[in-house]
Amino acid sequence: MSRIQVKLYQTDNGACPYLNDKTWHNLSFQTSELPPDGYTSLLNQGFRRSGLSIYHPVCVGCKSCIPIRVDVQNFSQKKSQRRTWRKNEDVRVEHHPSEFNLQDFELYQRYQKDWHNVESPISEIEYYEFLIESPVTTEILRYYSAGKLIGVGWIDRLAELVSSVYFVFDPECVSRRLGVFSLLYEIEYTRFLDIRWLYLGYWVENSPKMNYKADFQPAQILRNSRWIPFEAQ
C-alpha cells in the first residue's frame, strides 16, 4: 500500500449540523494527490473527503458520527424503496468526469437556497472547492427527466468501493424522493461494477437528517476500527 505523509490540523466548524447543542470539530489535512489504496485505508479508519480536505470528526465528548457502508451485492429494496424506484422510471442518468458545469452549479445554488435555507448565495469558488476539486477519481451523475436536469450526484470510484459524496435535487421535485432514488441508483451502479461496498459517509443516531441511511440494508458500521453488522432499529 502507498505511504502518505501529511500534516494534520484541527478545525472548528461551529455548530453541529446534525445534533442540537453540539459543536463540530475535525482532524483534517489537505492534499491534491491521494493514491486510491491510501484513500481506501483512510475511509476504513473513519475519514471522509470534502474537496481536497480529508477529515475525521474529533468532537469533545461525542462519537455520534459513525461510518456506514452498504453491502450492495446482498441489498434488496424495501417496499417504499420499490415505490420510489418505480416513481422515477422516467429518469435518465448520465455519468461525467468531475468538471465545472454552469447548470450543475445553478441547481446546487437553488438547492442550498430553497431546501437548506442558505441566505448568502454560494459562490462558484466555494462550489468548486467543495465538489469539483478532488484528489481521487470522481464522477458526476446527472439526473434528467423529460430533458430537464433534476438532480446531480458526486461519487468517488475506487477499486474496492464506491463512496457517495453529495447529492442535490430540484426542490420542485420533492415528491419524487430523489435523495432516496439517487442512493438506489448508486447501489445498482456499484453492483454493476462488481464492487461490494457503497460507503454512505456518517450515520448519526437520533438525527432526523441521517435516519434514511439506516434503511439501506444489509449494512456495516465502523466501531473500534472494525466493520461490524449494522442492525437497523
| pLDDT band with cut points at 50, 70 and 90 for residue 188 | very high
- Classify strands 219-223 and 197-204 as parallel, antiparallel or unpaired: unpaired
| pLDDT band with cut points at 50, 70 and 90 for residue 204 | very high
Could you give all domains of the chain from N- to C-terminal order, each with its CATH number? 9-67 (no CATH), 68-230 (3.40.630.30)
- For residue 2, pLDDT over 70 is answered with no
| Separation CA 233–CA 228 (nearest Å) | 15
Average pLDDT of the chain to the nearest whole number = 93
Question: What pLDDT, on the 0 to 100 scale, is given for residue 5?
Answer: 66
Contact residues for 222 (Cβ-Cβ < 8 A; gap 6+): 44, 46, 66, 67, 68, 228
Question: What pLDDT, on the 0 to 100 scale, is given for residue 232?
Answer: 59
Which residue's C-alpha cell is 453529495? 166
